[in-house]
Structure 1
């Protein structure tokens, strides 16, 4: 059990006292209910409704306490010579609300009120006491924007507007005149005068009151999320002089577990000659703990308005405004009980557990913090699992022996999306590969003593022995091996060295006077037009050549053997290839280059409506795209997503990026390195046709490749 006490000091010494006891339970939630059990700040109400099926209740105890020096004739007749002393007003409040749908909620509240005024002077028993119920208030929040979004999800996704009609039922007793007999009653053994219906205020309005507010809330997608609220309202009272208007606004910052806020609120009478309203500035904090429990602490400052206390029926506190405290402190406790559990949004996480030294898949078990889910990979290390939306830590522990530890990654699961997450496991011992082979003369088969090197590595050179054999220990991986011998053409070859395996790579050397002819053409990959390009032959003594400027054709004589060929043209991505030349042979080879920044529309890629889920009919087109990238392993591409202009610009921008990421993830799963792919969304900002026609919109909904660089 926890006791809560807070005070409010008034001008002239008055102070309000709040005392409340509660059992503290907790939840994590963002929009805390007010004292009236509806979402909001303090006097400002949020246009957002509570979650469907939630019962909310709020409670608390408040009060005012202060000294009054002026004579109040209605309470202390002047002929007694007694002046007003300590004055106390206390409120015990209770509010209950329920959300019937995502766009309709109802709330009601009632208060137990108490007034007390002591005196300074004589006679004894001149003090006064009154307590009783307030009128019962009820409000109905109708969120029109959420109703519209049930059929049009793209309608104003960050804005809510609502109507909030209110009515007050007369449950308070009518105010009785203060007794003229001193010590006519006793409270807690103290002589006093008791009356019903209010002492320093009227507990009720003596009839029904009705009116309403217009509510507007804008949610800004920031970190933290920010909510802006605007209200305007009007209430009609039985006495037309007491009709009230109100308006104001506020802002709240939604951090994890707590929400600071500030509001500015003004209320006044519709009767223009009665100027007893006020403007209030209220900063505050909302704290969230378990089980949907909130605690709201706030301080309200009066910026304008009167400090006078009137007791006639036109100026009492309930019917009008009367005394407005210069500041107050308030503490509200509230809790929500969910009778309808919302569906859990889910997304897919897929990928592979990889050996860092070999790049091969590893059998492992993957667990996800906060979820009772474990997935075991196959021997190739691949996995796929569906998880609730949110952030979680994923742990990949090897099933096989020989790995140092598990891999930990923070994973973000997005609704309806498939994300690729790869885990890397470090082996305890680095595996060793053996590369061996023999070097011989091509025409005679005689063994050759030659120099063996590994370009673009720090590995030292080695030599074959008198039998032409060689043997080298290497770390597993892919290598280019170059063999050189004086009087012979240099040859090279590629080999993949697997862990704890021996790879065999033999070479045949050709004397330099033996050559072959390589002919062909360098063309633009999109247009097939000839290009002027430079062709070089690393590892040989042959100088680079240039193709014909108009036709792109070339012809070159090269030593027999296997050669690396590199092709470069201004404005194009450089390309590389391996060419093998045999004796008395002319080899024809065409090279295709992609222009840097070139855009290639991927036809036949379709998605589900308003979704980034790829339709199965799109797989052949995506497979062709993967094959194209494998044929040109040096290029990097931007995957650009585009939409038509249907829907909001913000929504289309987000959808186009999600679709581009879906294409990227598909290509990665089909063997394309993730580092070669960049996914970006451009929404409706780069149309290629008119959005006024169906055919034009279909052209604008597309996925493009933009060639970047090597």
Structure 2
């Protein structure tokens, strides 16, 4: 059975094995220097190399509908299932020059649903409704490569004060493709490929870019403000209806080896696609970064959704994640 205790144990093991960022910069989830999702325009030292291992995990409990095995009646609520998500991001970045760096990365993804065996609930799934067998899917996500250019505008001898930047990236469909065929595993677990309630791959060659802005205050305890704005193009979905505008804002205070920070990020549909894909996410993510003199950094933080819940059922043909997989109410970051 997929229990919460097992989820906590797995998360703890991943914390020990995967919580170090190797290098002399503090990378974001995607590879370039930054916070969690917000990328800094700050230049990186020429020749610097960083490697990032980042865990994102959550298991919210949601009220779900089910089908009775006795009467085949549909109950709109009555069961409470735990929807577990985990992603391990692995990325590397190298600064060819102070103003130009390259990065690439990928991720491992896991979905799990701990179902409640309420009286009368069908064991097997019926239509969009899950049975009381637990669900699981583990696989690879798409690979991303990118480059970051920076232009210091105002600077002193010791540090840049205002920096502009450009981040351009491309994504390749290396992730596990979704397959709805279920196989029995471990007695009470049904498995499928490519995600239970998410798509592990977009099934297309995608790309995009972000404009970057960073302001750094002078002094021994600098305050940094970051802003990102960009665009994501998805090739698999026709008519550009799944393309998105992305934006993020963050601030951090560097106090010796400890850096508290907070960011707000969102992905908004370009067209009137909410009727198709549901409400777009907005999240606030506070965190703490612990640096060391030897170039290791450790991040700890979380996501808190501030937008309305996305309740749109998943469309098996779109390769666009909707519903609970879009933006969970909360999540933990360890990196």
Question: Which TM-score tier does this pair reach, normalised by the shorter chain?
Answer: 0.7 to 0.9
1:122 deviation in Å? 4.4
What SS does the aligned partner of 2:52 have? strand
**Structure 1 residue matching 2:176: 3-state secondary structure:** coil
Cα-to-partner distance string for 1:326-375 (whole Å, 9 max, x where unaligned): 2222111xxxxxxxxxxxxxxxxxxxxxxxxxxxxxxxxxxxxxxxxxxx
* Match for residue 79 of structure 1 among 69, 72, 94: 72
May I ask how many residue pairs the two structures share in their alignment? 305
The answer to whether the Cα contact below 8 Å between 1:159 and 1:219 also exists between their aligned partners in 2 is: yes
User: Which residue number in structure 2 is paired with residue 212 of structure 1?
Assistant: 209
Residue aligned with 1:22, SS: helix
Q: What is residue 185 of structure 1 aligned with on the other side?
A: 184
1:159/1:216 contact within 8 Å kept: yes
Q: Which residue of 2 aligns with 1:89?
A: 85
Deviations 1:370-389 (A, max 9, x none): xxxxxxxxxxxxxxxxxxxx
> What residue in structure 2 maps to residue 172 of structure 1?
175
Cross-structure match for 2:16: 21
Residue segments in structure 2 that go unaligned for 5+ positions in a row: 125-131
Deviation at 1:166, TM superposition (A): 1.1
Q: 2:222 aligns with which of 179, 204, 225?
A: 225
Match of 1:50 in 2: 44
Alignment deviations for residues 20-56 of structure 1 (CA, whole Å, 9 cap, x no partner): 2238889996x62122222111221100132211111
Match of 1:132 in 2: 139
Distance 1:270 1:320 in 2: 18
* Match status 1:327 vs 2:326: no
1:33 corresponds to 2:30 = no
Shift of 1:313: 4.4
Distance 1:25 1:38, change over 3 A: closer
**Inter-CA distance 129–103: structure 2 relative to 1 (3 Å threshold):** same
Relative to structure 1, the CA distance from residue 113 to residue 235 in structure 2 (aligned partners, 3 Å threshold; closer, same or farther) is: same
Name the residue aligned to 1:142.
149
**DSSP-derived class of the 1:100 partner:** strand
Counterparts of 1:163 and 1:231 in 2: how far apart (Å)? 9
Provide the C-alpha distance between the structure 1 equivalents of 2:319 and 2:291, rounded to a whole number of angstroms.
Answer: 37
SS in 2 for 1:304: coil
Q: 2:287 aligns to what?
A: 284
Partner of 2:272: 272
Change (3 A) 1:302 1:215: same
- Is the Cα contact below 8 Å between 1:17 and 1:62 reproduced in 2? no
Q: How many Å separate the matches in 1 of 2:266 and 2:244? A: 11
How much has 1:273 moved relative to structure 2? Answer: 4.2
Say if 1:98 and 1:107, in contact at 8 Å, map to a contact too. yes
Alpha-carbon deviation of 1:268? Answer: 1.2
CA contact (8 A) 2:313 2:323 kept: no
Q: Distance in 1 between matches of 2:72 and 2:318?
A: 25
- Tell me the alpha carbon deviations over residues 572-595 of structure 1, each in whole angstroms, 9 at most, x when there is no partner: xxxxxxxxxxxxxxxxxxxxxxxx
The separation in 2 between residues aligned to 1:305 and 1:314, in whole angstroms, is 24
Match of 1:103 among 99, 102, 109: 99
Larger strand share, 1 or 2: 2
Q: In structure 1, how many angstroms separate the alpha carbons of the residues matched to 2:226 and 2:52?
A: 21
Higher RCO structure (Cα 8 Å, ≥6 apart): 2
Question: Relative to 1, partners in 2 of residues 1:115 and 1:60: Cα closer, same or farther, differing over 3 Å?
Answer: same
Deviations 1:265-295 (A, max 9, x none): 2221112241521222222111111320001
Query: TM-score under structure 2 normalisation?
Result: 0.79
Cα 1:170–1:319, aligned 2, differ >3 Å: closer, same or farther? farther
Query: 1:263–1:282: 8 Å Cα contact kept in structure 2?
Result: yes
SS in 1 for 2:209: strand
Residue 152 of structure 2: SS of its match in structure 1?
Answer: helix
Aligned ranges for residues 521-532 of structure 1 at < 5 Å?
A: none
Structure 2 partner of 1:407: none
The alpha carbon displacement at 1:64 in A equals 2.2
Residue 173 to residue 45, structure 1, CA distance change in 2 (3 Å): same
1:66 corresponding residue in structure 2:
60
Q: Is the Cα–Cα contact under 8 Å of residues 307 and 325 in structure 1 kept in the other structure?
A: no
Q: Determine the C-alpha separation between the residues in 2 that align with 1:320 and 1:280.
A: 15
Q: CA deviation at 1:316?
A: 6.4
Name the structure 2 match of 1:306: 309
Aligned partner of residue 71 in structure 1, secondary structure: strand
Mapped partners of 2:280, 2:108: distance in 1:
24
Go from structure 1 to structure 2 and tell me whether the alpha carbon gap of 1:72 and 1:203 turns closer, same or farther (over 3 Å shift): farther
Q: CA contact under 8 A between 2:211 and 2:230: conserved in structure 1?
A: yes
Match of 1:242 in 2: 242
**What secondary structure, in the 3-state scheme, does the structure 1 residue paired with 2:241 have?**
helix
Indicate whether 1:294 and 2:297 are aligned.
yes
Quote how far apart the aligned CAs of 1:303 are.
1.7
CA separation of 1:281 and 1:232: change in aligned 2, threshold 3 A: same
Tell me whether 1:252 sits opposite 2:248 in the alignment: no
Q: TM-score, normalised by structure 1?
A: 0.39
